Chain A
Amino acid sequence: MTDAPRDHLKILAPRSMRPKFDYLHREVQDLAGTPMSRRAALGLGGLAILAAACGGSTNAGGGGNGASQPADALKGKPMEDQLVIYNWSEYDDPSTYKKFAQLPDEAAAGLKTHETYYSSNDELLAKLHAGGTGYDIVVPSQNAVGELIQEGGLMKLDFNLIPNIKNLDPKFRKSSFDQTGEYHVIKDFGITMFFYQNTVVKPSTEPKTMKDFYDLLVPNVSKGRTNVLDGAEEVVPLAAMALGYSANTADQGELDDTQKFLLSIRKGVTTVSSFGYINDASAGKIILSQGWNGDVRRILKARKKQGDITAVLPNEKSEVWADSWCIPATAPHPVAAHAWINFLLEPTTAVTEMNYHSYPIPIPAALDQMPADFKNDPLFNVPASYTDNYEYILNPNPQLVNARTKIYQQFKAA
């Protein structure tokens, strides 16, 4: 779709209407205060004025104001008295919020933290794209961070306000989803692995790779519930990686192979779900499943007495993911938001947090303080020999995401 001189209005209205539209276009431009294309101004037809006055696009969360803002715009600005966090629920220790509000500057400003919750990245993205949210802090996954940067939805962080960034492992400052490292501070990270009930699933050779996991599905499905993690951005890239392709492959041949492969193992899958699988697996109701390392760690703990869970960190390729602290471009309380990120980078805070959610935060000083049962657990402290082969799953462009979704839908509906 090029922006070439194709006149879309021709389809909407007869030529005689043109002067009227030109007039409307000028009016709308005046209203919005910025020059804009005819299409942007008039495209909505009846809703033209409505839409055009806020940029001619529903992408109000974007608009690029994040990118154009000078890096030290917040210098000297006072602390706000509010902080609105949009997060997963139960993702942070309740004491962290209390301690934050008691910090000297925050207490002086009478800062109140308000939190609201989402249950999927899709919700977060839809709301940030639509705009008008009023959130100061969001916790997107890596693919969402990349996408939001691309759409201009995130604020460039002012690291003068985040001196504790020095505590963070420098390797984690920049990443493939934020190549300059200006838009995110990693909250915690993890990997995708798999586990099975060794009393039920008895593989002839020890499964070592994600491909081995997929191969176990069909022969074992009759013995109990098998599960793969849900979401187009999970199912398709994980399968692609099992076949040795890149997680973010856009190659049509490779995508076709992935689809064929997924359909071939489809009859071995009882559920496609990330929804409460921790509880179900802890209750011994899942015999074979993918899972995120912190969750699998919980499941192992819960099944300790039975000792019937074998957890496998896949050799070769799998997913490494990261949830990050970001500030939306439209955040109403950016100073407080920076202060929050800074506080979370405090090693003592990080220790509390890791004990709570059992995912590593890459702050060496904090990791050193973790109890031995965390430090020595490969499911918490995943050895680099594994993660070096792992890839971040990203959303490089809408076309690929659409293609993944279609494959995912076909997989589920098969």
Chain B
Amino acid sequence: MAAVAAAVKPTKKRRSFAPKYPAWLTLPSLLYYGIFFLGPMAILAVFSVSLQSGFGSVEYTFDTGQFAQVNDSLYISVFERTLLMAATGSLVTIAVGYPLAYWMARYLSTYKMLALLLVIVPFWTSFLIRTYALKIILDSHGYLAQDLGIDILYTKYAVGVGLVYNYLPLFILPVFASLERMDWTLIEAATDLGARPLTAFKDITLRLTLPGVVTGGLLVFIPMCGEYIIPNILGGGKFEFVGNIIGDTFGDAQNWPFGSALSISLMAALSVFVVIYIMFATREEQFGA
């Protein structure tokens, strides 16, 4: 096992030989984000400290009152629920998606890309039509409810099924991309040297693909936290996510300043996870190189 670990673990020295791609390659996207992401975000930031002066119009000032309003038991409890649902949803997505990505990468060769395409094809029929179909399947008059006793439409379980269904490709694709580069001979070598398959999987496959899994998991978790159409349709409009609260504040109330303050608070809270991840990811990267 030690031999394998050594093969997997790179030496510091090799990194220095790495061909470096020039830093200016980041410039186009940096410029793009600078204009088309930070621009709207700046407007959002300005709104969040402004006051609502009319419907959909604001008076520019510097007032942090909006943020004080965010600290409300209603919003806090919705936020906790959102986090819990998104976390559970991401874990289930990982549990469902990882074996599939593993299967594609390990056991398929000619049809690898075919299998990948087949994962994404269902998502080219519109979300709305798909969700309608999902509602027909989950319906309390349908086979699932009548014969199997799974009557979950308009509950958090239906929201969960909707989340997992819709975010599955967003997890499978990145993980496949990182599993696909696996050198499976390492596993063979390990098992030949007497490692049990599970140990080989844990020590080699999992370790090597962990950055992909974590990226994929975060890629799923973060947008799930901002989701609002899935909880609305499958939860029957009464299973609120933070996204719904923010949507109603921007929509029904047309209160842009408070909506902005709510979203900035959400972004700040989620950034905690991102920062933890970035610290973690930087450490993890060491052993792939």
Partner-B contacts on A (CB < 8 A): 1, 8, 11-12, 39-40, 43-47, 51, 56-59, 62, 120, 122-123, 125-126, 129-130, 147, 150-151, 224-225, 230-233, 269-273, 275-276, 283-285, 395, 398, 401-402, 404-406, 408-410, 412-413
Contacts and interface: CB of A to CB of B under 8 A. Distances in A.
Nearest to B43: A47
Contact of A151 (B57, B58, B132, B255): B57
10 contacts: A8-B61, A43-B59, A59-B54, A122-B251, A151-B56, A230-B237, A270-B236, A401-B55, A404-B253, A408-B252
B253 A58 contact: no
- In the A-B complex, the 6 residue pairs with the smallest Cβ-Cβ separation, listed nearest first, are A43-B60, A129-B56, A271-B236, A122-B251, A59-B57, A272-B237
Nearest to A11: B62
B233 interface: yes
Interface stretch (B168-176, B240-248, B278-286): B240-248
Contacts of B74: 406, 409-410, 413
Given A8-B62, A44-B60, A405-B252, A147 B55 contact: yes
Contacts of A129: 55-57, 254
Interface string B136-171: 000111000000000000100000000000000000
Contact of A122 (B54, B233, B240, B254): B254
Contacts of A269: 238
B254 A412 contact: no
Contacts of A224: 140
Contact of B249 (A44, A276, A405): A405
Interface in B17-69: 42-43, 46, 50-62
Contacts, number: 136
B250 interface: yes
A271 B249 CA distance: 20
Given A45-B46, A270-B236, A413-B77, A40 B252 contact: no
Interface of B: 42-43, 46, 50-62, 74, 77-78, 132, 139-141, 154, 232-233, 236-238, 240, 244-245, 248-256, 258
Nearest to B237: A272
A176 to B, nearest CB: 17
A120 B254 CA distance: 13
B53 to A, nearest CB: 7
Contacts of B141: 283-285
A48 B182 CA distance: 53
A122 B46 contact: no
B99 to A, nearest CB: 35
A126 B254 contact: yes
A47 B55 contact: no
Nearest to A57: B57
B57 A125 contact: no
Contact of B248 (A62, A147, A271, A408): A408
Nearest to A8: B61
A151 B77 contact: no
B62 A398 contact: no
Nearest to A276: B132
Contact of A275 (B55, B233, B254, B256): B233
Contacts of B255: 398, 401-402, 405
Given A272-B236, A409-B240, A401 B252 contact: yes
Given A8-B60, A401-B253, 16 more contacts: A11-B62, A39-B60, A43-B60, A44-B46, A125-B56, A125-B254, A151-B55, A232-B252, A271-B237, A275-B233, A398-B55, A401-B55, A402-B253, A402-B258, A410-B74, A413-B78
B56 A126 contact: yes
Nearest to B51: A1
A412 B238 contact: yes
B252 A413 contact: no
A39 B12 CA distance: 57
A408 B245 CA distance: 10
A195 B74 CA distance: 32
B253 A232 contact: yes
A129 B56 CA distance: 6
A404 B252 CA distance: 9
Nearest to A122: B251
A220 to B, nearest CB: 15
A8 to B, nearest CB: 4
B42 A412 contact: no
Contacts of B236: 270-273
A354 B240 CA distance: 37
Nearest to A3: B59
Contacts of A39: 59-61
Contacts of B245: 409, 413
A47 B233 CA distance: 38
B61 A43 contact: yes
Given A126-B56, A273-B236, A405 B248 contact: yes
A232 B248 contact: yes
A151 B254 CA distance: 13
A409 B51 CA distance: 21
A350 B46 CA distance: 47
Given A271-B237, A272-B236, A413-B240, A58 B254 contact: no
Nearest to B78: A413
A226 to B, nearest CB: 10
B251 A62 contact: no
A145 to B, nearest CB: 12
Contact of B54 (A151, A270, A409, A410): A151
